[in-house]
């Protein structure tokens, strides 16, 4: 099995890359792809950068160049539910793009033109494995819809809108873009988001600290998926 692992920030990928052996680095379109062995799996890891365009660029390149069997997007995000607090893990049953809106043309909010879907489902078998690992590690987790957009959500009003419109459990800036590229390429995927903030502006000043701690949680699950 070959895993493709995509992170938005270096902090999210360092622990994973540190566990790899037989590594080889290749730069494509300004993104460095690290390939090698990760536990019992072949793997390729990349830091895509922040936002949906960077995430899509990285995912498409990874699929074409390295042909992973599964793509995992790991990182941090803001909670949209009282079932997830700081350090807990959101696991994608599906992903949506909350800032996709062609509703003036008569489309539902969030519908992606061309493929005409709103929610893109994650791979059920990978979701089950992630949840089992969380149970074994004692990581509080919750599975549902993760909502992505090119915005750092920091207002109660916007947070409530995403929940009421998409029933989102967490928000971030890359996962649904990764999901869309995987969806059109027919590559199974799962999105993991360790909760780093409340998504309502209440703890923005603490984000770097929370993000560093939350990234360790998501990285530990990825390492366990690889048998480490």
- Residues assigned a catalytic role: 12, 197
Give dist(CA 46, CA 202) in Å, integer. Answer: 31
Give dist(CA 125, CA 35) in Å, integer. Answer: 24
34 torsion bin: left (phi>0), alpha (psi -120 to 50), beta (else): beta
Cα–Cα separations (whole angstroms), residue 100 to 13, 22, 149: 28, 41, 8
Give dist(CA 208, CA 182) in Å, integer. Answer: 29
Half-sphere exposure of 87 (CA within 13 A, CB side): 5
- The DSSP-derived string for 36-66 is EEETTEEEEEEE--SSHHHHHHHHHHHHHHH
Residue 30 backbone phi and psi in degrees, to 5: 80, 0
204 contacts: CB under 8 Å, gap ≥ 6: 154, 197
178 torsion bin: left (phi>0), alpha (psi -120 to 50), beta (else): alpha
- Contact between 46 and 60 under an 8 Å Cβ cutoff? The reply is no
């Amino acid at each position: 099995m070959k895993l493709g692992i995509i992170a938005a920030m270096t902090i999210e990928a360092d622990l994973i890359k540190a566990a790899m052996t037989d590594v080889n680095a290749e730069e494509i379109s300004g993104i460095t792809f690290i390939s090698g062995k990760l536990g019992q799996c072949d793997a390729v890891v990349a830091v895509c950068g922040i936002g949906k365009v960077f995430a899509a660029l990285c995912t498409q390149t990874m699929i074409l160049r390295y042909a992973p069997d599964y793509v995992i997007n790991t990182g941090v995000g803001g909670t949209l539910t009282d079932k997830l607090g700081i350090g807990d893990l959101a696991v994608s049953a599906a992903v949506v793009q909350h800032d996709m809106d062609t509703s003036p043309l008569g489309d539902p909010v969030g519908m992606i033109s061309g493929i005409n879907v709103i929610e893109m489902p994650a791979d059920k078998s990978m979701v089950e494995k992630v949840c089992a690992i969380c149970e074994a590690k004692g990581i509080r987790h919750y599975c549902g819809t993760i909502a992505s957009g090119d915005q750092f959500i920091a207002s109660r009003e916007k947070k409530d809108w995403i929940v009421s419109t998409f029933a989102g459990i967490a928000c971030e800036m890359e996962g649904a873009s990764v999901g869309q590229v995987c969806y059109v390429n027919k590559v199974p995927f799962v999105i993991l988001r360790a909760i780093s903030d409340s998504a309502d502006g209440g703890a923005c000043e603490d984000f770097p600290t929370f993000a560093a701690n939350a990234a360790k949680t998501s990285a530990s699950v990825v390492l366990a998926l690889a048998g480490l």
